[in-house]
Structure formats: structure tokens, C-alpha cells
């Protein structure tokens, strides 16, 4: 029944393969072996999926590799349908307001002075950065907090950490990186020095 809904058995198998392997890339012959389908139908469906934006491609060692596009608008709902570990996605924020779990994970990082979320975590945001954190932060604590969000979202999260001095300097000179985030949609999780109210 799901084959009829999604157009073809090959497409369904491909979606299942990619959505259960985020961050992993495959070349065509490897894909045909894994899903046990004809190479021509695999190539046709890969081309369709590339056009829609569900997957991305990259070449290495004279081979074209394909992987799921974790920043695709419908990545989370598709993963809820095709992912084997659907239970993990139940707490996903689906790019709406941040969950308490995300906020607590980030706010609990010692030394944090400012944090905001954007990108895939905020509906309507086009930022390439999903989490921006400012302060003198332990890399280990940051990774632990980000892993909470990645588990909840079921995808990789792009984050950036700046010292307060660097952030304030970039803010004062209207640095492009900071300006692009602040001119778009974002949600402030912490701002101990009211830096954003002065911008």
C-alpha cells in the first residue's frame, strides 16, 4: 500500500535505506545490492529524489555518492514514516518552539552567556546555523548538549561556539555571519548580558 502512495517500490526502498542511514553515503552499485533492485530503476529514482532535494550527491574516488539531505524541509516527517527507530522521533520539536529538554541541555552548559536557536529548529528560519552559543564553554559539555538535540530531531545539527569577545566584536562591526542569523528568525534561549537587546 505504501508503494502505491509513494509511486514505486524502488523509491520506498531507497527512502527506507537513506532515512535509516543519516550521515552515511552510498554509490549506485552498493545501493542496488542493498535494496535488491535493477540499476536502471535505482538511477531513475535517485535522479527524481535529487531533483526534489530529499538526497544530495557528491563525487569521490571517481564515484558518485548519495546521502539523505538532513536539511530537507520534510526530513523529520519522512523519517517518522520510514525510520526504524520511530520512537526516538516522538519528542521532536518539528521545527517549532524549542522543547524544554533542548533549552535545559543548552542552558546547563557552564560559562554560557548567550544562546539562540535557528535553522532547522525554528520554523521559517533559513539560517545555516541551528544553534549559536557564546561564552567560555567546554567542548565536551557543548557536544553533550548538541547530542540531546540531535537525538530529539533525528538529524545532525549545525552549531557554532564563539567567545563573548569575538561575538561582541562581530556584532559591533555587523559581521555577515552574525547579521545573517540575527536578521532571520531565531529563538533566544539565554542572554545573560542583554547583548541582543543592544543590537
Instruction: Please list the pLDDT of the chain residue by residue as tens digits (199 residues).
Output: 555 566 788 988 999 898 888 778 899 999 999 999 999 999 999 999 999 999 999 988 888 999 998 888 888 788 878 776 544 433 333 344 455 788 889 999 999 999 999 988 887 788 889 999 999 999 999 999 999 988 888 888 999 999 999 999 998 899 999 988 988 888 898 899 888 765 5
Residue showing cell 567546554: 138
CATH 1.10.10.10-classified regions of the chain: 2-84
pTM for this structure? 0.61
CATH numeric code, 2-84? 1.10.10.10
CATH 3.30.460-classified regions of the chain: 100-198
Q: Which residues contact 193 (CB under 8 A, 6 or more apart)?
A: 113, 114, 164
Right CATH for 100-198 from 3.30.1380, 3.30.460, 3.40.50, 1.20.1690: 3.30.460
- The β-bridge relationship of strands 55-60 and 63-68 is antiparallel
Amino acid at each position: 500500500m505504501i508503494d502505491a502512495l509513494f509511486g514505486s517500490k524502488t523509491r520506498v526502498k531507497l527512502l527506507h535505506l537513506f532515512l535509516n542511514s543519516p550521515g552515511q553515503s552510498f554509490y549506485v552499485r552498493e545501493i542496488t545490492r542493498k535494496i535488491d533492485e535493477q540499476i536502471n530503476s535505482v538511477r531513475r529514482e535517485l535522479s527524481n529524489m535529487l531533483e526534489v532535494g530529499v538526497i544530495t550527491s557528491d563525487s569521490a574516488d571517481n564515484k558518485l555518492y548519495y546521502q539523505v539531505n538532513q536539511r530537507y524541509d520534510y526530513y523529520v516527517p519522512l523519517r517518522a514514516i520510514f525510520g526504524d527507530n520511530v520512537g526516538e522521533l516522538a519528542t521532536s520539536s518539528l521545527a517549532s518552539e524549542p522543547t524544554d529538554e533542548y533549552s535545559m541541555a543548552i542552558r546547563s552548559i557552564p560559562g554560557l552567556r548567550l544562546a539562540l536557536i535557528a535553522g532547522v529548529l525554528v520554523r521559517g528560519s533559513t539560517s545555516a546555523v541551528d544553534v549559536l552559543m557564546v561564552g567560555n564553554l567546554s567542548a565536551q559539555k557543548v557536544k553533550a548538549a548538541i547530542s540531546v538535540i540531535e537525538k530529539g530531531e533525528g538529524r545532525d545539527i549545525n552549531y557554532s561556539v564563539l567567545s563573548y569577545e569575538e561575538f561582541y566584536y562581530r556584532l559591533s562591526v555587523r559581521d555577515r555571519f552574525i547579521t545573517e542569523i540575527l536578521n532571520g528568525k531565531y529563538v533566544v534561549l539565554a542572554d545573560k548580558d542583554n547583548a541582543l537587546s543592544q543590537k
